[in-house]
């Protein structure tokens, strides 16, 4: 499962598909996940707060392809914070639809008065709970996690979701999390830091 997909499931680990986070934090965390996927694929890098495309070949995943096309098409905008804010506006829907197409979630529409609300509800609660359980187990082990898993852990911490992963973990897991994020490759470490700063700013100003 891709980085943003696992972040989505950790952030919506609920029978009704309800988010555990402030909406702005959810959107920004998912935006960080989408950019992180492209860094992990080798399509973009992040240096000094700027996003650069380094491989224009289309990724296999349709959503990653769309995000890369947006980065290429708006090359005048390179700030990581700008792209996090932009992608956050649609990230819940785009990642929710990707998980729906994959058969992990069920798209549910409900109408109240003149408004239609869309939620993404779990088909199998065990599948939805697995990413948080898996990360918790990784932190209890001696061997270091893979770079994608370390990136996901960084974004979970940046968005304020740590409790969802570590709620039953011991001191060893908490200590290891504090060591894993600083050891990320520089582009991913920067992405996590900018995501955390964007989440903090959005929550402080009460962004929707």
Q: Domain spans of the chain?
A: 3-204
What does the pLDDT read at residue 175? Answer: 84
pLDDT of residue 208: 56
pLDDT, residue 192, reads 98
Is CATH 3.40.50.720 what the domain over 3-204 is classified as, yes or no?
A: no
pLDDT of residue 207: 60
pTM above 0.75, yes or no: yes
Q: What is the 3-state secondary structure (H, E, C) of the chain?
A: CCHHHHHHHHHCCCCCCCCCCCHHHHHHHHHHHHHHHHHHHCCEEEECCEEEECCCCCCCCHHHHHHHHHHHHCCCCCEHHHHHHHHHCCHHHHHHHHHHHCCCEEEEEEEECCEEEEEEEECCHHHHHHHHHHHHHHHHCCCCCCHHHHHHHHHHHHHCCHHHHHCCCCHHHHHHHHHHHHHCCHHHHHHHHHHHHHHHHHHHCCCC
pLDDT at res. 158: 95
The pLDDT score that the predictor gives to residue 97 is 96
C-alpha radius of gyration, the chain, whole number: 16
Low-confidence ranges of the chain (pLDDT < 70): 17, 206-208
């Amino acid at each position: 499962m891709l980085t943003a997909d696992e972040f989505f499931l950790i952030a919506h680990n609920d029978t009704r598909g309800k988010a555990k986070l402030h909406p702005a934090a959810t959107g920004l965390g998912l935006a960080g996940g989408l950019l992180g996927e492209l860094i992990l694929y080798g399509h973009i890098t992040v240096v000094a707060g700027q996003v650069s495309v380094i491989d224009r070949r289309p990724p296999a995943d349709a959503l990653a392809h769309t995000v890369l096309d947006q980065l290429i098409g708006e090359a005048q905008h390179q700030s990581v914070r700008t792209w996090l804010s932009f992608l956050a506006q649609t990230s819940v829907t785009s990642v929710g639809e990707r998980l729906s197409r994959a058969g992990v979630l069920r798209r549910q529409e409900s109408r109240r008065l003149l408004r239609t609300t869309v939620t993404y509800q779990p088909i199998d609660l065990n599948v939805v709970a697995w990413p948080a359980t898996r990360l918790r187990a990784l932190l209890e082990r001696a061997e270091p996690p893979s770079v994608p898993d370390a990136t996901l852990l960084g974004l979970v911490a940046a968005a304020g979701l740590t409790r969802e992963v570590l709620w039953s973990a011991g001191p060893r897991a908490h200590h290891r999390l504090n060591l894993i994020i600083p050891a990320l490759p520089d582009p991913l470490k920067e992405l996590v830091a900018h995501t955390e700063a964007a989440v903090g700013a959005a929550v402080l100003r009460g962004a929707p």
